[in-house]
Amino acid sequence: MPEGFLLGYARVSTPAQDLAGQRDRLRAAGAARVFEDVVSGRAERRPGLAALLDHARPGDAVAVVRLDRLGRSLRELLEIVEDLRARGVGLKSLEEAIDTSSAAGELVFHVFGALAQFERRLIAERTRDGLAAARARGARPGRPPLDREKLAAALALVAAGMSPARAARQVGMGRSTLYRELARRDRRDGRAGSEGRA
């Protein structure tokens, strides 16, 4: 693997917390550049991490003070580590003393990969078991069947000038269900109109 740069990643959850400690440790470890995020671990978007992953090239390594700075959950951490490995980018965690550029560290990538596969199999098994248990109870997994009487009442209210959201609430059906049915009818009516003109 070609020799590359060490790229640091630091994250804190709130502006009240200070990134300086992580930044200093990463630079002391040799990080040529440190990417940063000030976002909660539950936040969907992390622009600093996205920029780091976009910037990293084969031969580079990503450094973090602790693994929990990189992934918000074990699943996400495993996904990021697997992505790094596939792209030829190393990983270094200062507190856990992980360095995949060493022979022993390379084993860590294989362990993470095995954990990711184990996690995927567990999820698949839980899903299958859940569906089997639901069928055994007589339940039919998936979207509940459409109540035709409620739909007819809601469509009549919409035809009379009521908004779809209010009509759905009035008859006790999901707003998205009514909008979906209205869109389906519009498409069907549009097809019927075009066939009539042909």
Active-site residues, by number, are: 13
Nearest-angstrom CA–CA distance, 135 and 81: 37
Instruction: Report which of 53, 2, 21, 1 is spatially closest to residue 10, judged by C-alpha positions.
Output: 21
* CB of 195 closer than 8 Å to CB of 188: no
- Angle at CA of residue 142, ends 137 and 148, nearest 5°: 100
Q: Find out whether 65 and 37 touch, Cβ atoms under 8 Å.
A: no
Contact 65, 25 (CB under 8 A): yes
Which residue do the tokens 């409620």 mark? 150
